[in-house]
């Protein structure tokens, strides 16, 4: 047109670039979601360890298990009952009561109430 070459990309160049981007996304996206899942599982393990440690400390201080998890918050053994990162609910915890002593049937252990299995293949409810 005025002696200058027309600037721009051809359709073939655009298709090659889009193919490269699509290939990179197929590699990156699954790793991203896998890392998110690993992070949730790490938070779940840490929350369970914190609650179990608080239950043990409560038992060591009082000689009995707490009646509910809310007692741990009231007595300031934990700041709040954590939200299960897998089930995404704060009320999804499975409580195991003390069956050894009928006079003290408080919370002896806590497990996740999330459905499914972790990346190691074990059910969340057994953690």
Residue 9: the pLDDT is 81
Residue 2: the pLDDT is 67
DSSP 123: B
Write down the residue that tokens 């200058």 correspond to: 4
Domain locations in the chain as residue ranges: 11-117
DSSP 5: P
Residue 125: the pLDDT is 92
Instruction: Report the distance separating Cα 54 and Cα 7, nearest Å.
Output: 68
Residue 8: the pLDDT is 79
Residue 3: the pLDDT is 67
Residue 117: the pLDDT is 94
- Residue 47 backbone dihedrals phi, psi, to 5 degrees: -60, -45
Could you tell me the mean pLDDT of each successive run of 10 residues in the chain, 127 residues long?
Answer: 73 94 92 92 96 96 95 96 89 88 89 93 93
Q: Which two tokens stand for residue 12?
A: 């073939």
Q: Are 109 and 59 in contact (CB under 8 A)?
A: no
């Amino acid at each position: 047109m005025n002696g200058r070459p027309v600037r721009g990309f051809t359709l073939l160049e655009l298709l090659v670039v889009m193919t490269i981007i699509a290939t990179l996304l197929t590699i990156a996206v699954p790793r991203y979601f896998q890392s998110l899942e690993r992070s949730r599982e790490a938070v779940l393990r840490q929350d369970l360890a914190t609650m179990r440690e608080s239950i043990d400390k409560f038992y060591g201080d009082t000689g009995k298990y707490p009646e509910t998890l809310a007692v741990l918050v009231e007595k300031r053994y934990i700041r709040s009952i954590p939200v299960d990162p897998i089930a995404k609910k704060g009320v999804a915890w499975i409580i195991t009561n003390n069956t050894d002593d009928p006079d003290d049937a408080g919370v002896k252990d806590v497990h996740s109430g999330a459905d499914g299995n972790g990346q190691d293949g074990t059910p969340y409810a057994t953690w």
